[in-house]
């Protein structure tokens, strides 16, 4: 979908577009509009990979906690 939107806007885009902002929200890097095409390939990796890693970590943590709780219940039942 982003490719379609970029193609739709292509003729309206200036030749020079901002590609990076600093912590003060000031533009500190410019590129030509062809840079935007490359960003469509790079940005999904920068977003998807951290989310994927976070999900994997959460799954592992939930699994460990569930195993611990199950172990404690069994341990408690054996004492009775």
Q: Which tokens hold the place of 34?
A: 């062809």
Q: Does the pTM of the predicted model rise above 0.85?
A: no
8 A C-beta contact, residue 19 and residue 32: no
pLDDT at 5 over 90: no
Residue ranges per structural domain of the chain: 2-79
pLDDT at 45: 65
pLDDT top residue among 43 and 3: 3
Nearest Cα neighbor of 44 from 34, 32, 52 is: 52
Tens digit of each residue's pLDDT (9 = 90 or more) over 27-77: 999 999 888 888 887 776 666 777 778 888 888 888 888 888 888 887 777
Q: What is the dihedral of CA 58, 48, 22, 35, to 10 degrees?
A: 170
């Amino acid at each position: 979908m982003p490719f379609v939107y970029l193609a739709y806007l292509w003729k309206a885009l200036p030749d020079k577009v901002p590609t990076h902002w600093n912590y003060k929200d000031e533009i500190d890097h410019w590129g030509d509009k062809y840079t935007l095409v490359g960003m469509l390939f790079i940005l999904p990796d920068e977003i998807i990979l951290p989310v994927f890693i976070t999900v994997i970590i959460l799954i592992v943590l939930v699994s460990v906690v569930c195993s611990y709780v199950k172990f404690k219940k069994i341990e408690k039942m054996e004492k009775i």
